[in-house]
Amino acid sequence: MKIINKFTMNMYAKSANEGFARSCISAFAAQLDPTLEELNDIKTAVSEAVTNCIVHAYASKLGKIYITAEIIEENILRIKIRDTGCGIENIELALTPLYTTVGGERAGLGFAVMQSFMDDVKVTSRVGKGTTVTMKKKILPRITVNG
Amino acid sequence: MAVEIKVKGEVVTAYLSGDIDHHSAASMREEIDNTIDCNMPSLLVLDFGGVSFMDSSGIGLIMGRYRALQKLGAKLHITGASPQIAKVMKLAGMNKLALIN
Ligand SMILES: Nc1ncnc2c1ncn2[C@@H]1O[C@H](COP(=O)(O)OP(=O)(O)O)[C@@H](O)[C@H]1O
Ligand SMILES: [Mg+2]
């Protein structure tokens, strides 16, 4: 797949950066002319993935989050969110809706949101090494009406 | 302030504003829980009219308050959710816990 445009960023895994990451990706995605709903889907999915790095991957230390966003052929936005944190032992279990390893106020719906709001979500992880979440969404070209 | 509270008899309304994510949810939770403890309402209304964005951290916020209200025998209403917020709530099945309009 040919990459048409790309940006990368990395930042401290601090909760204050959650909104910043959402804004950056949505500004980049804007060049695909998404609808408001598509843009909100992307922002919500990114928020979940970035939050997981902060809450889970680096629960006990300050690490970095590495984000890549690409526009690839056929109007597809591809987003990679990577951490070098604790990793996920059982990915299938982690993807299960309502599953959470943190009690209290986590809903266990982060991956469910990513999967339902994006077209494709892939998770690769190694315990002690880190996790990469790759998400894709095709932005449908708008039908333009004359006049 | 991200939460503004109004008390009218046994009804407490919390007007939320800004983005609700993991970063902002903690202080919102504290404010709402304080008023629940002080006022022991029979109904809590969470008004999302001023909320520009919410992810699943907001679901955690709602579910946590729902559990606290259940212990009091109190009800939860949700109002003012934008389409983005309603979509996240729908995925989480929030309509089973609270009256949403
Ligand atoms: N980047 C990550 N690093 C380590 N563990 C993770 C990561 N992302 C998710 N997890 C694990 O997967 C579980 C489910 O994640 P999620 O669906 O977002 O729910 P929640 O964040 O509410 O727990 C988490 O509780 C955690 O155990
Ligand atoms: Mg999560």
Which CATH number goes with the domain that contains A131?
3.30.565.10
**Helix, strand, or coil here: B28?**
helix
pLDDT tens per residue, range B46-83? 999 999 999 999 999 999 999 999 999 999 999 999 99
> What confidence tier does A147 reach under pLDDT thresholds 50, 70, 90?
low
* Residue of B25, B61, B91 with shortest CB distance to A113: B91
Q: Which of A15-24, A62-71, A95-104, B15-24 has the lowest mean pLDDT?
A: A95-104
Q: Is residue A81 part of a domain?
A: yes
Checking if the pLDDT of A125 tops 70, the result is yes
pTM of the full structure? 0.96
A144 in a structural domain: no
Average pLDDT of chain B? 95
For residue A147, being part of any structural domain is answered with no
In the residue annotation, A52 being an active-site residue is answered as: yes
* Inside any domain, residue A45: yes
- Inter-chain contact A116–B57, Cβ cutoff 8 Å? no
| A34: containing domain | 3-138
Going from N- to C-terminal start, the domains of chain B cover 3-100
Of A18, A22, A52, A78, which one is the catalytic site residue?
A52
Write down the number of H helices and E strands in chain B. 3, 5
Domain count, chain A: 1
- Which of A18, A48, A51, A52 is the best mutation target for the ligand 1 pocket, counting ligand atoms within 8 Å of the beta carbon and taking the most? A52
Give the closest residue (by CA) to ligand 1 atom 16.
A110
Instruction: Pick the ligand that lies closest to the CA of residue A18.
Output: 2
Q: What is the 3-state composition of chain A as percent helix, strand, coil, each rounded to the nearest 5?
A: 35, 30, 35
CATH architecture of B3-100: 2-Layer Sandwich (3.30)
Enumerate residues 6+ apart whose C-beta is below 8 A from A57.
A13, A63, A83, A84, A85, A86, A87, A130, A131
Average pLDDT over residues A1-7: 95
Cα A105–Cα A96–Cα A67 angle in degrees, nearest 5: 75
Closest residue by Cα to atom 22, ligand 1, is A108
Is residue A145 domain-resident?
no
